[in-house]
Homo-oligomer: A and B are copies of this chain.
Amino acid sequence: MCGITGYTGSQEALPVLLKGLESLEYRGYDSAGVTLVDENGLYTQKRKGRLADLEKEMDIPSFHQTTGIGHTRWATHGVPSQLNSHPHTNASNTISIVHNGIIENYEPIKEELIRQGYKFQSETDSEVIVHLIDYYYQGDMLAALKKTVHHLAGSFSICVVSTDHPDEVYVAKVSSPMVIGRGKNGSYCASDIPAILEYTKDVVIMEDGQMARLTPDQIEVFDFEGRPIEAKITHIPYDLSAAQKGGFETYMLKEIYEQPEAIRETLRGRISGNQIILPKLDGLDLSAIDRIYIVGCGTAYHVGIYGSTLLQRWLPISAISTPASEFRYGHPVVDEHTLCIYISQSGETADTLAALKMTNEMGAQSIAIANVLGSSISRLANVTLYTCAGPEVAVASTKAFTTQLVLITLLIIKIAEMMGRRPQEADAVLHDLKRMPEIVDDMLKKSDEVKEYAELLKDQHDAYFIGRQLDYVSVLEGALKLKEISYVHADAYYAGELKHGPIALIEQGTVVIAMATQPEVAAKTISNIEETMARGANVILITNKEQPALKFDRVMRIPEIHPTLTCIPVTILLQLLAYHTATEKGRDVDKPRNLAKSVTVE
């Protein structure tokens, strides 16, 4: 996920681009760059780090060009660095591009271009675009762009400028977002509405398979065959602050709704048929591994419990998940036969990093799962796999959690495979994993239904989440979400442990949220639920099976998918439940009291 922007008009371009990028910085802040263009040539400045660093570096008043493009990067291929930063230019420095998305087939294209004599400066997938345009360019940029996009597979939104057309910006879009619009001082394009909302509230939200040419006076839209099509104008009724949240009332809600896309991006290129493509793991030798620890904090610890449960099912070795703050001091048995998996959205969580350093010194192999490329964890782990969730702004984790679940499922099947024991159900799990973006989308459509159940929690001080086996992961995560943002004292129990004490807390009207999606134990969980109902509990049941309607007034259904994966759709419902409860209670959902986004202290 990156942010891109372009401008051509009567004003100086640099301040317009920088301001636009600033509002897009939520989309990434690993590196930033701009290209300004006039008839004398291109001027490109880019650097690793945040936009503010780029601004400091440039003497803004000295740039008078009125056309340019800009980029703020969330690294997916290649570490954040000067060379990997956008924009990318051709060898003659006459064409410059910025790109948001992933070019899945960049490797064969790159090989072919190298055969044709092209030299590459960066490790990015994006650089192939500028060289392809250069290859096809014969005076008509639209024609060159048309030929280029026909070669590209994956997702992309692209902006192009060139010295031959110093007052034009070309754009093309597939899967990644792109909006364009005309204001009184020129034409604008960007990854997201807030970047151009200051100049116009009438925008064209480009559709997949569209290109456009921006000039100071007009914008023209074309299909990928180069045929002009009528631009569809959308009037944006809301203001800038709302726009930054994509029209959602909070970042958290926006991020909840970004999950189908985040999961799709996390899966992209990682499953081919029934094979898992995680080439980074090839360097590891897992043949002698006899113990696997999974370590994380908070939400990431819950992912660890999920992961160790799968490992225990699929491999005859020891698999343990521990919170990082306990693992560090728990005298774990770690040696060269140990694999440690570390999970951290930010890649900067203090306890997790310290644990990783410790097991490195003890000789273990390590795999990290992180969301922020180039974060500290990636410099310490043998291999780092990235969730492609994009920046998570809300303190309560949503899309990071579900994408971590997706990625660790792939990872663990792959590990089992590498140890010669691909699980029997791998094909079935992968099949349903590919459907997950649509399944999650369906869950999001239940938001109104969930909101009704949140009414039940609105005046509650307590809530009890119960479930068994893999449902316990949803139990933990659902309870954590509810307490984090609504301050309801939510508690998580193994359903089978209830009657060994905690059931004393259940009285008339207590709300119990129960998960029963695991075929082996669902019936037993239903019995435990009935025990709480006998004590007067109001139960909200989440299940994938038909349950006798007479028994349970409040049932939410998830689709019939492989039991390994049910905690993803279940969690979506629980996120919404926590969200609606918190808003009903008037809480500041994005900034819950006492909490910080990335915990970089112990």
The answer to whether A316 and B330 touch (CB under 8 A), given A298-B500, A325-B497, A497-B298, is no
A351 lies within 8 A of chain B by Cβ: yes
A15 lies within 8 A of chain B by Cβ: no
Contact with B along A150-185 (1 / 0, CB 8 A): 000000000000000000000000000000000000
Kindly list chain B residues whose C-beta atoms are within 8 Å of the C-beta of A503: 594-595
A323 lies within 8 A of chain B by Cβ: yes
Contact of A326 among B472, B499, B502 (CB under 8 A): B472
* Stretch in A108-116, A232-240, A260-268, A484-492 touching the partner: A484-492
**Can you give 28 A-B contacts (C-beta < 8 A)?**
A291-B318, A297-B496, A297-B497, A298-B500, A299-B501, A301-B497, A312-B332, A312-B333, A313-B331, A323-B497, A325-B468, A325-B496, A325-B524, A326-B469, A326-B472, A326-B496, A329-B520, A462-B489, A483-B502, A484-B501, A485-B504, A487-B505, A487-B507, A499-B595, A500-B599, A501-B595, A524-B602, A535-B593
Kindly list chain B residues whose C-beta atoms are within 8 Å of the C-beta of A483: 501-502, 504-505
A312, A462, A502, A507 interface centre (most CB from chain B within 10 Å): A502
- Are B299 and A521 in touch, CB under 8 angstroms? no
The answer to whether A491 and B494 touch (CB under 8 A), given A331-B312, A504-B592, is no
Total identical chains: 2
Contact with B along A584-602 (1 / 0, CB 8 A): 0000000011111001011
A574 lies within 8 A of chain B by Cβ: no
Contact of A330 among B312, B318, B324, B330 (CB under 8 A): B312
Kindly list chain B residues whose C-beta atoms are within 8 Å of the C-beta of A333: 312, 316-318
A461 lies within 8 A of chain B by Cβ: yes
Which A residues from 482 to 533 make CB contacts under 8 A with B? 483-485, 487, 489, 491, 494-497, 499-507, 520-521, 524, 527
A396, A499, A599 interface centre (most CB from chain B within 10 Å): A499
- Are A326 and B489 in touch, CB under 8 angstroms? no
Interface residues of A (CB under 8 A from B): 291, 297-299, 301, 309, 312-313, 316-318, 320, 323-326, 329-333, 351, 396, 461-462, 468-469, 472, 480, 483-485, 487, 489, 491, 494-497, 499-507, 520-521, 524, 527, 535, 592-596, 599, 601-602
Chain B nearest CB from A9 CB (Å) reads 47
Closest to A472 in B: B326
Kindly list chain B residues whose C-beta atoms are within 8 Å of the C-beta of A507: 487, 593
Kindly list chain B residues whose C-beta atoms are within 8 Å of the C-beta of A462: 461-462, 489
State A77–B26 Cα separation when bound (angstroms): 71
Closest to A291 in B: B318
Kindly list chain B residues whose C-beta atoms are within 8 Å of the C-beta of A596: 499
The answer to whether A469 and B330 touch (CB under 8 A), given A297-B500, A320-B320, A325-B496, is yes
Closest to A596 in B: B499
Chain B nearest CB from A352 CB (Å) reads 11
Chain B nearest CB from A550 CB (Å) reads 23
Contact of A593 among B291, B298, B331, B504 (CB under 8 A): B504
Chain B nearest CB from A395 CB (Å) reads 9
Kindly list chain B residues whose C-beta atoms are within 8 Å of the C-beta of A461: 461-462, 489
Kindly list chain B residues whose C-beta atoms are within 8 Å of the C-beta of A487: 504-505, 507
Kindly list chain B residues whose C-beta atoms are within 8 Å of the C-beta of A535: 593-594
Contact of A489 among B316, B320, B469, B489 (CB under 8 A): B489
Given A313-B331, A323-B494, A485-B504, 14 additional A-B pairs, CB 8 A: A297-B497, A298-B497, A299-B500, A312-B330, A312-B333, A316-B333, A323-B497, A325-B495, A325-B497, A329-B468, A480-B502, A487-B505, A489-B505, A504-B593
Kindly list chain B residues whose C-beta atoms are within 8 Å of the C-beta of A316: 333
Kindly list chain B residues whose C-beta atoms are within 8 Å of the C-beta of A520: 329
A324, A351, A487, A504 interface centre (most CB from chain B within 10 Å): A504
Kindly list chain B residues whose C-beta atoms are within 8 Å of the C-beta of A499: 594-596, 599, 601
The 9 closest A-B pairs by CB, nearest first: A325-B496, A298-B500, A318-B318, A313-B331, A503-B594, A480-B501, A484-B501, A297-B500, A504-B592
- Are B602 and A504 in touch, CB under 8 angstroms? no
Chain B nearest CB from A415 CB (Å) reads 15
